[in-house]
Structure 1
Amino acid sequence: MTRETRTLPAFEAGPVEVPFTILGWSEDFAHDTTWNEHSHPFHELLWNERGASTAVVGARAWTVTPALGLWMPAGTLHSGSAIAGTRCRANFFGFDTMTSISETPAGVEITPLLRLLLERLADTGLPDGSRAVTEAMVLDVLTPSPRELLLHMPVSELLRPIADAVREDPGDPRTLADWASQLGVSPRTITRAFNTETGTSFARWVAAVRAQHAVALLTRGWEVDAVAEEVGYRSASAFGAAFRRTTGLTPGAFRAR
Structure 2
Amino acid sequence: MRPAVPARARAARETRTLPSVAPGAVEVPFVVACYDEVVARDTTWNEHSHPFHELLWNQRGASTAVVGNRVWTVAPALGLWMPAGTPHSGSAAAGTWLRTSFFGTGGAAPLPGVPVGVEITPLLRLLLDRLAEPGLPAASRSVTEAMLLDVLTPSPHELLVNVPVSALLRPIADAVRADPRDRRTLADWAAELGVSARTVTRAFNAETGTSFARWVTAVRAQHAVALLTRGWEVEEVAAEAGYGSASAFGAAFRRTTGLTPGVFRAR
TM-score, length-scaled by structure 1: 0.97
CA–CA distance in structure 2, aligned partners of residues 103 and 159 of structure 1: 29
Match of 1:204 among 206, 210, 214: 214
Q: Quick one: structure 1 residues 185 and 39, their matched pair in 2 at CA, closer, same or farther if it must change by over 3 Å?
A: same
Which runs of 5 or more structure 1 residues have no equivalent in the other structure?
A: none
What is aligned with 2:79? 69
Letter in 2 for 1:254: F
CA–CA distance in structure 1, aligned partners of residues 77 and 186 of structure 2: 32
What is aligned with 2:127? 117
Detail structure 1 runs of 4+ shifted over 3 Å in the superposition.
15-20
TM-score, length-scaled by structure 2: 0.94
CA–CA distance in structure 2, aligned partners of residues 19 and 177 of structure 1: 56
What is aligned with 2:52? 42
The answer on 1:87 being equivalent to 2:121 is no
Alignment partner of 1:49: what SS?
A: strand
CA–CA distance in structure 2, aligned partners of residues 202 and 139 of structure 1: 37
What is aligned with 1:8? 18
RMSD (CA atoms): 1.1
Query: 2:66–2:90: 8 Å Cα contact kept in structure 1?
Result: yes
Any residues of structure 2 matched to 1:1-257 within 5 Å, and which?
Answer: 1-14=11-24, 16-257=26-267
Q: Quick one: structure 1 residues 7 and 15, their matched pair in 2 at CA, closer, same or farther if it must change by over 3 Å?
A: closer
Which runs of 5 or more structure 2 residues have no equivalent in the other structure?
A: 1-10
Query: 1:43–1:100: 8 Å Cα contact kept in structure 2?
Result: no
Q: Quick one: structure 1 residues 116 and 139, their matched pair in 2 at CA, closer, same or farther if it must change by over 3 Å?
A: same
* CA deviations over 1:200-235 (Å, ceiling 9, x no partner): 001110110000000000000000111111111111
CA–CA distance in structure 1, aligned partners of residues 92 and 14 of structure 2: 10
Alignment partner of 1:62: what SS?
A: strand
Alignment partner of 2:36: what SS?
A: strand
Alignment partner of 2:57: what SS?
A: strand
CA–CA distance in structure 1, aligned partners of residues 132 and 25 of structure 2: 22
Query: 2:127–2:148: 8 Å Cα contact kept in structure 1?
Result: yes
Letter in 2 for 1:183: L
Count of residues in correspondence between the two structures = 257
Alignment partner of 1:14: what SS?
A: coil
